[in-house]
Amino acid sequence: MPLRRDQVVEAALELLDEVGLDAFTTRALTDRLGVQRGALYWHVKSKQELLAAVTELVVAPVFADTGDDSGDWADDLVEFAHRLRAAMLAHRDGARLVAANVTMSRSGVELLENALARYIRQGIPLPVAARWGDIMASYVTGYVLQEQSSPAPVPVDVSRAAPEMRDFFTDGHPSSAETFAASVRTIVLGMRAEAETLTPASPA
> pLDDT per residue over 42-51, tens digit each?
899 999 999 9
pLDDT the model gives residue 163: 73
Residues of the chain with pLDDT under 70: 1, 65-70, 103-108, 111, 150-156, 158-159, 164-175, 202-204
pLDDT of residue 202: 67
Phi and psi of 33, rounded to 5°? -80, -15
DSSP single-letter state for residue 71: S
Identify the pLDDT of residue 62.
Answer: 87
- Find, among 124, 122, 137, the residue nearest to 198 by Cα: 124
pLDDT of residue 40: 87
- pTM for the full predicted model: 0.83
| 174, amino acid identity | P
pLDDT of residue 11: 95
> CATH for 72-195?
1.10.357.10
Tell me what pLDDT residue 105 has.
60
pLDDT (0 to 100) of residue 150: 65
CA distance 191 to 95: 24
Q: Number of helices (H) and strands (E) in the chain: give both, helices first.
A: 10, 2
Measured between alpha carbons, how far is 84 from 58 in angstroms, rounded to an integer? 9
